[in-house]
Structure 1
């Protein structure tokens, strides 16, 4: 199967279902799932509902989700983050999103991201552009780091990630001294969507969970941006990190990462 666009209505239906669940929950429960990590019953309800819809519409395509797991065995697979930015959501901060991608092997080929509290839905199909509703997206044309707004992914919570956090601190210091602004938004899906939308000029996420990144990665590529691994090679589901950039700041940001790695 390579006519990925025929699956876009299914992905959009999944986002509509997810959005309704997120917006309809006036109250919810929060449980710990790790050190300073959490899950809400909304995360679980969204994942179960979207899995049910995808299982009915595309039973031959496995689903890998943040909360319920799953395994890709090559070929096509869906990857889902039911609420990306759970910590924001749990505090009533509207920066959270549902992120769904169709991956072919290790490369995303279809994407749908819904930011329910921002009332925007993003979508992309490989070779057909990136969109916010009916608006076609283009990455920014910023070329000077002094004009750039760059976001960083969250600090890692696990003790064995101390080296990664050292890199994050170096990036904050380095970019903070030279970029127009540095932001930590708390959701990879919105970080990446906003690079595609031209609201950010780049985002550096020093991890690469496919449910967090694969949808947004396709949005950035289809909007004319570049998405790289830490060594500067092209990003895939197997990459160590996710660095999404407008082309004009690519060299400067990658040099900054090398200085602090």
Structure 2
């Protein structure tokens, strides 16, 4: 299986790179959002469907026995190995012509993340990981932050209209009580890769979907970050909560926000 996974990993890198170039060429100009609004701050662009269809076709042609799941089309094919794609993560940024968005493709073997590729073409960044082989940014190995004091930590928290305001305020208040600096960047996948490479010391999102995290989970693991058991706790079939953190502040942050780690 190792050789089979390596073939898939190399193929995924090429396919996502092509898909990211497509998305970049279709990006709207700066200004008000050019997209359909599904709900509060939840957007859908023409590019989302085009990129997902492109990746689905390419992966089916290369590995017809594999399953496939996308944000827009749902679980289209089943298999012991399953590709999970978020065609544009950070759509609110993308729809306004901003740079902080990415194309994300993860590979699951059952309920185990085994490979991930995340390309942010406007930032010229590619994150990759294959289980057991390390995590990389533009070909250079990455590791989670060495921060040990929450008072010097930078923590991002994702926002969703599906989270009641009191719950959101409670969690962000807990981050502030630790003395950490809060951030919000509009892309869950890129926030998780920021934790993996040490640009952030933690990321919290109360309600997040599998396609947002599938590629990032293996990148985080290979980079030495600690992560809550998202897949075990229901993330395979529906939305779940995720906490990803640098190991040196993991216990303090987990206790403060009330999200257990794996």
Q: Taking structure 1 as the reference length, what is the TM-score of the superposition? A: 0.89
**Contact 1:235–1:242 at 8 Å: present in 2 too?**
no
1:40 is matched with 45
Instruction: Give 5+ residue unaligned stretches, structure 1.
Output: none
**Contact 2:38–2:44 at 8 Å: present in 1 too?**
yes
**Contact 1:139–1:225 at 8 Å: present in 2 too?**
yes
**Contact 1:188–1:212 at 8 Å: present in 2 too?**
yes
Q: How many pairs does the alignment contain?
A: 252
Q: Write out aligned runs for 1:44-193 (5 A).
A: 44-70=49-75, 73=78, 75-154=80-159, 156-158=160-162, 161-162=163-164, 165-193=165-193
CA pair 44-206 structure 1, distance change in 2 beyond 3 A:
same
> Displacement of 1:21 after TM fit?
0.8
* Mapped partners of 2:189, 2:77: distance in 1: 21
* Mapped partners of 2:218, 2:140: distance in 1: 16
CA pair 14-64 structure 1, distance change in 2 beyond 3 A:
same
* Mapped partners of 1:204, 1:124: distance in 2: 21
* Mapped partners of 1:80, 1:132: distance in 2: 19
1:17 aligns with 2:22: no
> Displacement of 1:113 after TM fit?
0.1
* Mapped partners of 2:127, 2:50: distance in 1: 21
CA pair 122-182 structure 1, distance change in 2 beyond 3 A:
same
2:211 is matched with 211
The answer to which of 99-108 and 18-27 deviates more is 18-27
> Displacement of 1:81 after TM fit?
0.2
**Contact 1:149–1:179 at 8 Å: present in 2 too?**
no
